[in-house]
Structure 1
C-alpha cells in the first residue's frame, strides 16, 4: 500500500476498516476532558464496556444463589471455565481440551516447568532468549537452582549480534543444534516484550524436538496479538497472561496450553490439587491424585470466577470480530503505517531522531513498534503523555507504541506522528 502523511488519508483507511466499530466496545482513559490516544495495549488492554454487565451478573449470582452458584444459574461456576476454553482455543490454535484459564502467568510457568523441565545428568540445560522479560529469567533461574544446578552452567541465553536489536532465527537454531544433546528445555517468548519481535515458533519447536528437548513458550505478548497454531506446531506447553492484548483487566487470569499428546503421560511430575482431579470422580474425595485428561488436569486451585468473568467479556469481542485472523490483517497495516509515519517525522527533521528497533518485516512483529529516542527521550515521552498520547517507556531511551487493531485507528497513528514531530521541533 502507498501511504500518505495526512489526516484525510488516515481517515479514509478508518472508513474502509471493517473492524472500526469495535473501537466503541471499549472505554478510553481521559485527561483534561479528552480521551487518550491509547497505545499501551502491549502492557494493559482497555476495559471492554461489557465488563460491568457480566460482573454484575456474577455478583447477582453470588447474592441470590450464594454457594448454590457453583451448580445453579445460567453459567454455574463449577463449569464456567469451559465457556472460556471454547473461546480461548481459537486464539492460540488449539483444541478446547488443550487450554485452561487459571492462576497468573508466572505461577503457571512454574507449574508447567514442574512437569516439563526434567533435567538429568548430561541433559539439564535450558535455552532461552537473552533479554527475556525478568519474570521468565527469575522463574528459570529458580527452577534450575531447585534442581541443584548452577544457572551459569544450565542456562544458555541467545543474544542478538553486536549492533543488532533482534534475534536472527538462524542464530537461535544454531544454539539449539550446538547444545542440543545437553538441552532439556527450550523456553522462549512468543513475542519479545522490548522489541516486539515475533519469533519463528514453529522452526524453534522443530529444532528443539529434533534434539530431543521439550519446547515451551511464554505467550504474554503473543496471545491475542499474532496468529498461533500451538497444536499444529507441536509445541509442548505454553502459558500467557490475558490482560495485555486480551483486555481482561489488571492482573487478569492466565491461560495455559498443554499439547494433547501429554495428557496420558504418567511420567510427568506435577503439583496437584483437587481442582485438577478427574471431574467425574472429584466429589468422591478419594486419596491418590488422578488428573483430568486435559489441560484442566494442571489446575491446582479453585476456579477464579470473577477474573474469568472479566476475561470472558473480552473473549466474546474476539469471537464477534472473527478471532485473530481479521485482526492480524489490520494489525500489519497499522504497524506498517506507524513505521511510515515515524520515517516521515525523521525526514522532516532532517536526521534520525527516532530509530525503530522492531523488525521491518510485518511477518516478524506483532502489534508493537519500539523506537529509540536519540535525544531527550524521557522528555519526549512525558510530553506525549501530557498531550493525551499514552505509550510505554523503557529505560534508557525506548518508547513502545502498540496500535491494537480492536480499538486503535489509523487516525490515532497519524496524530501520534504529528505530535512526535511537534515535540521534536520544540513547538510543544
Structure 2
C-alpha cells in the first residue's frame, strides 16, 4: 500500500510499504477514505517529538471502511467508522473511569519504559505518533490496523459525508474537552489562545456550554475571522498587547477561564519566547511555553486554566507563584475521545456543531508532503488539509 512516512525534520515521503495484517482477535483493518493533517503532526514534522524512527507511518485523524476483522471485533465488514486517535483497551482501571487516554494497555509493554522515564507513568498508545506512544502505524495511508476495534471506532450513519464527521477522530473532542475542563458557567468570559483547529472548536464548544463571551487570540487574520463567525471577540497579538487588551475587555478582572490551544511551538517576538527559541535551537530546552504563561498571568483570581495544547518536555520561567497566589485550577491531558463520541456525533447530526468550515484544502494522499509544507508555511491560508487516498485515480 501507499503511505506517508517520516524520515526526519521536514522530510516526509509517500512510499510503498507492507499492507497491515490482523495481529490480535480484537483488531480490524480499515480502508482509509479520509485522513487529515493535524497541528500536532507539525510537531513531528519540526522534529520536536522524541522517539520517531525513519519509516514510521504518520497520521492520527482518519476514518474509512472496515475491510477485515478479527474474531473479537464488534465491527462488521462494510461499515464506515471514525477511529479515535487514542488507543484504549476498555478494560483497565483508567478505561473503567472513562480516562481512555490514560489506558494501561494501549501502549505495548516494550514502549512503556520510554514514557515512564520521561513522565513517571507510561502514556496511552496513539496512532502515528512516535514509539513513546506505542510505535503504531498511522492512518495517512491506504489501510491501517486498528487495535481494540471493539472499543474505539464509532460507526457513521449511512449517507453522512466524511467531511462532517472526520474530526470526531481528534480535534472536535479535543476542543470540547478543553471547554469542559475550563468548567464554563453561564455568563462566563473565556479567552482562547490560538485559532488553529483545536482553538476554533474550543471557541464553538465554549459558546455551546454557556459562555457569554469568548475572546480568541491569534495573529493570523483569516483564523481570527473564522473565530468571529461563532461570535468571538478577537485580539491580534501583533497589533495589541494581549494582557492589557484582556484587562480592558474584562474591566480589569481577567477572563473567568483561559484555554491554551497553542502548545510547544508558540509564535511571537516576546522576550520569554525568544529565549525559549534560543534554548530549543541550542538543545538547552524543548518547549516554547509563552501562551500558557500568558494564560496564567491573565486569568482572573480563582479562575480556571485548560490546556489541550501539546507540550513534550521540561519548562522554565513557569509562573508558579502567580498560579498559587491567584488560586487557579489547571486541567490538561490527551483527549478521552471515546467518552465524547456518541454525544458529539448526535450534535453533528442535529446541526448543533459544524465541522466542515475548517477544511481549506483537499489533496490526494500522494500529495501529502506538499500538504505538510503548505500547512507548516501558510497557516493563515491553510486551516485544515484533508488527504484522500485514491483521489488522484478517481479524478483521472
* Normalised TM-score (structure 1): 0.33
Q: Compare CA radii of gyration and give the structure with the larger one.
A: 1
Higher relative contact order (Cα pairs below 8 Å, separated by 6+ residues): 1
Task: Give 1 or 2: higher helix fraction.
Answer: 1
* Normalised TM-score (structure 2): 0.36
Task: Give 1 or 2: higher strand fraction.
Answer: 2
